[in-house]
Amino acid sequence: MKLTRDFPRNDTMAQWQTADHQDTQVVGELFAHFGTERFTVQSTRTGVPVLWLSRELLQDVIGFLRKIPSPFVMLYDLSATDERMRSHRDGLPQSDFTVFYHLLSIDRNADVMLKVPLKESDLTLPTITNQFPNANWYEREVWDLMGITFDGHPHLTRIMMPKSWQGHPLRKDYPARATEFDPFMLDAVKQDLEQDNLRFKPEEWGMSRGNEHEDYMFLNLGPNHPSAHGAFRLVLQLDGEEIRDCVPDIGYHHRGAEKMGERQSWHSYIPYTDRVEYLGGVMNNLPYVLAVEKLAGITVPNRVDMIRVMMAELFRIQSHLLFLGTYIQDVGAM
């Protein structure tokens, strides 16, 4: 096949240019219900309307978006940004840390992002786990890595880092290299502390030790177990042979990819995206590269699009072969 052949493009797609999206339906609905003065609209290149609001208004706005016709029923993402070193605001609210909420409407096939500015001296927000249960893990991650507290959260504990970890590593003032830390010394006191932190305490996992009649048994499944491929730990609460509760421990997958990015340029960071999944190859590179191209307004030739598709298919086949091999092993055929 000639890769220089012209493949048809969808020329009706909007160019990735900065826009405030004030003419979108959801922005109009929010302005009509709450008033324009309670929001700051941010111009972006993401194609998604972005509105800044106060934390006092957050719960009401999210509740409104969940109940309007064709509602925003999915919390697609929730995270935070350390903006203390940001040198320009372009009319946006002053913010040391910003927490953003990305909501999705299935019926509308539309997105909206809400941003809440916070001062370093008052890093608290109300939890939204009462409206979106999946916010539980998102909020734990933001507290773990950024140090932002969510009032009313049912179990605000570390989710990525070990319990004994000091500080919040995604803050910009947190060291990004091992050589920037003091030399590591493991004396007897620190060793005892680490051993105590490793001791299993059901209450720290949101589980009870037993009922009024008997104690429960607790079992570790993983982090390395034949039935759980990869480093993944499950803590099981057992009443006899019945599993009463199961709490996953996902911290083994945290590699600090965002922290690595603080030391890289947009171009030199591309190889780090390979680490997301070791057989994905370009399928892991493309989400990052496509985002960079959209933000920078870069349009690649048709030839590049075709090569990308071919490479992604080759890596997809490789991933499927591994899956089939491990599945055959799990059912006892090897």
* Domains annotated on the chain, with CATH: 16-169 (3.30.460.80), 209-253 (no CATH), 256-334 (no CATH)
Residue 8 pLDDT greater than 50, yes or no: no
Q: How confident is residue 16, by pLDDT bands cut at 50, 70 and 90?
A: low
Asked if residue 56 has pLDDT above 90, the reply is yes
**How far, in whole angstroms, is CA 120 from its chain's centroid?**
22
Q: What contacts 24+ positions apart, CB below 8 Å, involve 172-175? A: 172/82, 172/84, 172/85, 172/262, 173/84, 174/259
Residue 223, preceding peptide bond in cis (omega within 30° of 0): yes
Per-residue pLDDT of 71-126, as tens digits, reads 999 999 999 999 999 888 888 999 999 999 999 999 999 999 999 999 999 999 99
For the beta carbon of residue 82, count every other beta carbon within 10 angstroms: 22
Query: Taking the CB of residue 151, how many other CB atoms lie within 10 A of it?
Result: 10
Question: What does the pLDDT average to over 163-179?
Answer: 90
Note the pLDDT tens digit of each residue in 281-328.
899 999 999 999 988 888 999 999 999 999 999 999 998 998 898 888
In this prediction the pTM is 0.85
Most confident of 169-178, 258-267, 307-316: 307-316
Percent of the chain with pLDDT over 70: 93
Cβ partners under 8 Å of residue 226, min gap 6: 330
Q: How far is CA 51 from CA 73, 103, 116, in A?
A: 18, 12, 9
Return the bridge partners of 153, or none: none
Please tell me the predicted confidence (pLDDT) of residue 297. 82
Predicted pLDDT of residue 228: 67
Percentage of residues in the chain with pLDDT exceeding 90? 54
pLDDT at 88: 83
- pLDDT for the residue 249: 86
Low-confidence winner among 134-148, 153-167, 214-228, 240-254 (lowest mean pLDDT): 214-228
pLDDT over 80 at 10, yes or no: no
**How sure is the predictor about 3, in pLDDT bands with cuts at 50, 70 and 90?**
very low
Report the chain's mean pLDDT, rounded to a whole number: 89
Rounded to an integer, what distance in angstroms lies between the CA atom of residue 174 and that of residue 159?
18
Q: What is the per-residue pLDDT across 23-47, written as a single tens digit (0 to 9) for each?
A: 899 999 999 999 999 999 999 888 8
pLDDT of the residue at 1: 44
Q: Is the pLDDT of residue 19 over 50?
A: yes
Q: What is the pLDDT of residue 276?
A: 78
Q: Please give the pLDDT value at position 213.
A: 82
CB burial class (10 A; 0-12, 13-18, 19+) of residue 303? middle
User: Is the pLDDT at 253 greater than 80, yes or no?
Assistant: no
Least confident of 48-52, 89-93, 122-126, 127-131: 89-93
Is the separation of the CB atoms in 259 and 178 below 8 Å? no
